[in-house]
Amino acid sequence: MAGGRERGARLQRPWSVYRANTFELSNEMIGLALAGNSQDPDEPVLEFSVACTELVTPALDRKPNSFVAASCTTPPQAFWTKHAQTEVIEGTSNPIFLSSIAFFQESNINQQTQVKLAVYDVKDRSQGTMYMLGSALFPVKELLQDKNHRLHLVLRSAENERVGNINVVAWQMEEKRDQRTPVARLPDTINGRTVLPVDESLTESMGVRTKYASLCKDTLLRSVFGGTMSRMYRFPTTDGNHLRVLEQMAESVLSLNIPRQYVKLLLEEDAARVCELEELGELSPCWENLRRQIVSQYQTIILTYQETLSDLNDYRGPSFKASNLKAERRLEFMPTNLHVQRMRVQDELGFDHTYDVITIGAPAAHCQGFKNNGLRKLIQKFEEAKKHSALSSSQSIVYIPQDIVRAKEIIAHINTLKTQVSYYAERLSRAAKERSANGLERTLAILADKTRQLVTVCDCKLLASAIQALNAARPEYIASKASPSADSEQVVLRNDQDTLLAKWSGRNSRSSLHADWHEEEWEKVWLNVDKSLECIIQRVDKLLQKERRPSDSSQDSTQTDQQGSASKKDGSPSTEEAYPGEWSEALYPLLTTLTECVAMMSDKAKKSMVFLLMQDGAPTIAMDLTLQYRRDVVFCQTLTALICGFIIKLRNCLRDDGFLRQLYTIGLLAQFESLLSTYGEELGMLEDMSVGIMDLRNVTFKVTQATGSSAPDMLPVITGNRDGFNVRIPLPGTMFDALPREIQNGMLLRVQPVLFNVGINEQQTLAEKFGDTSLQEIINLESLARLNSYYEQFKEVLPEDCLPRSRSQTCLPELLRFLGQNVHARKNKNVDILWQAAEICRRLNGVRFTSCKSAKDRTAMSVTLEQCLILQHEHGMAPQVFTQALDCMRSEGCRRENTMKNIGSRKYAFNSLQLKAFPKHYRPPDGTFGKVET
């Protein structure tokens, strides 16, 4: 009865799948089935599962360890092409395989295509010794024409002896146009295995379908990602249904595009720094020598960036950097082995769930090596050297770190505000020409605001003292110019080769007088700007009063007299006779004075700050630039991964109002998982990586509407400098229109990065027994605090319904508490930290990143484990197939192909001895690992 109701319900909705109820299926319909589905380009055109029965081996005392290899040939092709294979199932004569055989649109199969299924018995998985038990052939047309899309084939050996059976079950295929053909269901079981054609309901809701964005076909994603590999699986669930799982892996053109943009920005920044130093003007010999040394250091580093940019522009290889090239100098800014790993789950209710992880080799300066540690310790050494140089310096002024930060901020503010003042002065002039009273008022308000902001920036003690220091460094500087009066006190000035010291002997009164005199001089400069602005405001007020006089009938006689006198002053007997250029002529000289005063003030202030930075950086400039270069290399790799993650997350959640609200309110959570050990070179890598990830706090995103529809129009654009980078993400018009107004209006979107590291290999065992794991503990504690802080921010300003739903019985606060307990527990290889951090990230709408040294071997173990944990906890995959599913993904999934892409071998770079030190869930199946290049 329930079955009847179910069938009836299904007939009431539009069919997205069909089954023939006769043995004969028309050629037209077969062609239609094999053409694929235009609504979902990731649908395979043909997918079937296989299971064997009664397999017989020549040695009757052992049961086979079998797998099935599928090959195909399409006439007129006269040879067989290997297409796919299943996982190995050990010790059974009746294996049921979880990995399905899928043909996608690019396979170009048709109804004449012949498929050969060869069953192999693997005698020794570690050695890879195997032999073919038997094989069977069938044409695709035969499978499609069968009433139940099921074939029962006999396996025959090379000697034509029967060695068992193989059952082929095709999963239902979507049609491209509405078919009225009645549908017959697949049998419920095959060899005791529950089979349910879940595809029947996958397109029930077009609303659900449009949420899914294909890596291959989506307008935005295909411009960023490419080289997509796909694998299909069917996993049984606890309630007797099946999950259809599509696993994909794609590389990104951003691996090259972002480093090119980034290095170009660095070049421009450092070249601008040299220009600023050159524009300081003439300096006394001692300061001139110092400037030359600094400029020389910058020119050396600029040359390095130019060579790097040239190498990146000349690069013509694949759009990912293979792991064996991680120490290649010319490609050091490119991230290592950057890919997106995607799992798409379609459950029995027909809902799509997509899980993405960005995998990247540890962002580190491999080319520069790790003998002197990584960035974390190098920064500490640099800061100590800077303190030491400050204590032993002969400079008369020593600046504290806050002064240096403030000086950089002042330069940035001056550059921005000076440009804005010039722009609005020009706008005001245009409004005057057009005699637009509203335009004049509006523009004047903005101009006044920007000018006053600039004056506020320039009105500070730090600037005054820096201007004084710059004046003292001029060759023409003499005591008489600096002194307001001459008395018996002597001024000792040494602007020579030997010292940079300029002090006054005798009492301190002359020094303070000298400083006060310079502060007064500087005050006059910015007061001139203030007065110029006031003159413009008064003149505009008079012009607007005069303009409004005829329409104001209620004005009193005093106002009339004032306006009359103003008319006479302006040389026009009455308002009615005012000539067209009157406003423009009245404001032009005042605007010229303002822009000149602003230029003079800005120039003086900027030069003094540049000189201050020169003074501060001089003693450690060589060390500073070497350290900065390393930091640039690491940050570029990290930034590239972040941009990939941001784009794919934004595209997936384009219609998730909760996520978008969270994004513009508290920013995006970026959770990095690292499997590096805290021993040897990997300790230095972890130091580099931790600094690169924390530097992501200086990155903001801005979403814009793409100017065109071609792939280059969709690529992100980076602007800014080392103090802060902004990444502009262009979206096609239809996608941009779906965004909330806040994001459309250009709100800057922030990032909160966190990093959790747990070393899992044999080197970590050494670190735990004989070395030091303190860096891992510090990093995890820091990230735990930031993660808790992010969640606290979320609770303060956002409702819980912004977050995705989960089947987990553990609430977020509990998860965070468990994570805290694990982070504080001094337990070796505590991978629970990684599992809990990953789940919290997903539950908080975050972006996941996974790394090891090369993102090839340990990363493969981690992402496949994460996929299986998600399938079990969120989608009800049967626990009894967990290990089989894990081995299946590791042996036949996309990550096995990743090793092939990187080193030309389908083996993970582990050996048996190493793997004994690995946590149990991070060990690959036999036969998938061996001694290969890492």
Question: Which residues does the annotation mark as catalytic?
Answer: 852
Cα torsion 448, 454, 457, 458: sign: negative
Retrieve residue 594's tokens.
């303002």
Mapping DSSP onto H, E and C, the string for 10-35 reads: HHCCCCCECCCCCCCCCHHHHHHHHC
**Parallel/antiparallel/unpaired status of strands 847-851 and 352-359:** parallel
Interacting residues of 97 by C-beta distance below 8 A, sequence separation 6+ = 49, 50, 51, 67, 68, 86, 87, 89
Cα torsion 567, 572, 577, 583: sign: negative
Retrieve residue 300's tokens.
């050396």
Beta bridge partners of 153: 166
Q: Which of 151, 342, 347, 344 is nearest to 236 (CA)?
A: 347
d(CA 49, CA 369): 49
Count Cβ neighbours within 10 Å for each residue of 483-500 and write b for 16 or more, e otherwise.
beeeeeeebebebeeeeb
At 148, give phi and psi (nearest 5°): -105, 10
Residue type (1 letter), 108: N
Tell which phi-psi region holds residue 149, choosing left (phi > 0), alpha (psi between -120 and 50) or beta: left
d(CA 333, CA 320): 12
Residue 306: is it exposed, middle or buried by C-beta count within 10 angstroms (0-12/13-18/19+)? middle
Q: Do the Cβ atoms of 225 and 340 come closer than 8 Å?
A: yes
At 114, give phi and psi (nearest 5°): -95, 135
d(CA 549, CA 707): 47
d(CA 635, CA 689): 8
Residue 923: is it exposed, middle or buried by C-beta count within 10 angstroms (0-12/13-18/19+)? buried
Tell which phi-psi region holds residue 135, choosing left (phi > 0), alpha (psi between -120 and 50) or beta: beta
d(CA 79, CA 75): 9
Q: Do the Cβ atoms of 119 and 133 come closer than 8 Å?
A: yes
Tell me how long the chain is: 934
Cα torsion 281, 287, 288, 292: sign: negative
Report the Cα 857 to chain-centroid distance in Å.
22
Residue 460: is it exposed, middle or buried by C-beta count within 10 angstroms (0-12/13-18/19+)? middle
Angle in degrees, CA 254, 258, 263, rounded to 5: 155
d(CA 680, CA 433): 71
**Parallel/antiparallel/unpaired status of strands 699-705 and 847-851:** unpaired
Mapping DSSP onto H, E and C, the string for 433-470 reads: HCCCHHHHHHHHHHHHHHHHHHHHHHCCHHHHHHHHHH
d(CA 378, CA 211): 46
Retrieve residue 539's tokens.
């003149």
Q: Do the Cβ atoms of 150 and 168 come closer than 8 Å?
A: yes
